[in-house]
Amino acid sequence: MFYNYPRMKTIILASGSPRRKEILKNHNIPFQVEVSDVDESCGEMSPKELVKELSLRKAKAVSKHHPFDIVLGADTVVAFHDQILGKPCDDENAYDMIHMLQGNRHQVYTGVTICAGEKITTFYEMTEVEVSPMTQDEITSYIATGEGRDKAGSYAIQGEFGAYITAFHGDYENVVGLPGKRVLEVLQKEFL
């Protein structure tokens, strides 16, 4: 729980993601938004290294404009056998991703960087997700909803695709886009 301390720093979310905003609101974390526009291209990296690197870039870019505030950057990817599945470039790409994930277990990684001045903490969370087998028609119908167009792995666990999730192991909010409980713990322990 956050209280209005007279000298409390502002928390800046370096993301325009409506899902991340909702998670912070659900944890009663007050924040403002300033979207980072950093280059997200990276060389060969493991999923956990990639999300940590991108969250760090985003937080540092916004922190330059807010040196006395707390900046939170995040990045989420879906991985299947260590192959990173980002946001789909078109419906055909989305179909390929969902077809790969259906009937299998995959991982969702979210990297988080919190920084305030010179203090920087970066971590990641991983959640395993199991997807039920899907027919070609089910995949095509889901793609047609447009729900997964701007989401890593081409799906939203909190939306219609949730009907195809048979189990998840780890933090549900991590799959949505931000491990809220861990963010709150780190903020309270290290930054407030």
pLDDT of residue 7: 46
Cα–Cα–Cα angle for 123, 128, 104, rounded to 5 degrees? 145
How does residue 2 score in pLDDT terms, banded at 50, 70 and 90? low
Report percent pLDDT > 90 for the chain.
88
pLDDT of residue 8: 59
Residue 182 has pLDDT above 50, yes or no: yes
- Bridging pattern class, strands 11-13 and 70-80: parallel
- CATH number attached to the domain at 11-191: 3.90.950.10
105-157 pLDDT, tens per residue?
A: 999 999 999 999 999 999 999 999 999 999 999 999 999 999 999 899 999 99
For the annotated catalytic residues, the residue numbers are 75
Mean pLDDT computed over 60-84:
95
Dist CA 163 CA 145 (whole Å): 14
Residue 6 has pLDDT above 50, yes or no: no
Q: Which residues, listed in sequence order, are joined to residue 85 by a DSSP beta bridge?
A: 78
Q: How far is CA 61 from CA 65, 78, 161, in A?
A: 8, 24, 33
Residue 86 has pLDDT above 90, yes or no: no
Of the given ranges (35-49, 56-70, 75-89, 152-166), which has the lowest mean pLDDT?
Answer: 35-49
Dist CA 188 CA 120 (whole Å): 14
Cα–Cα–Cα angle for 138, 163, 157, rounded to 5 degrees? 105
pLDDT of residue 41: 79
Q: Which residues contact 8 (CB under 8 A, 6 or more apart)?
A: 2, 192
Q: Is 63 or 7 the better-scoring residue by pLDDT?
A: 63
Domain ranges of the chain: 11-191
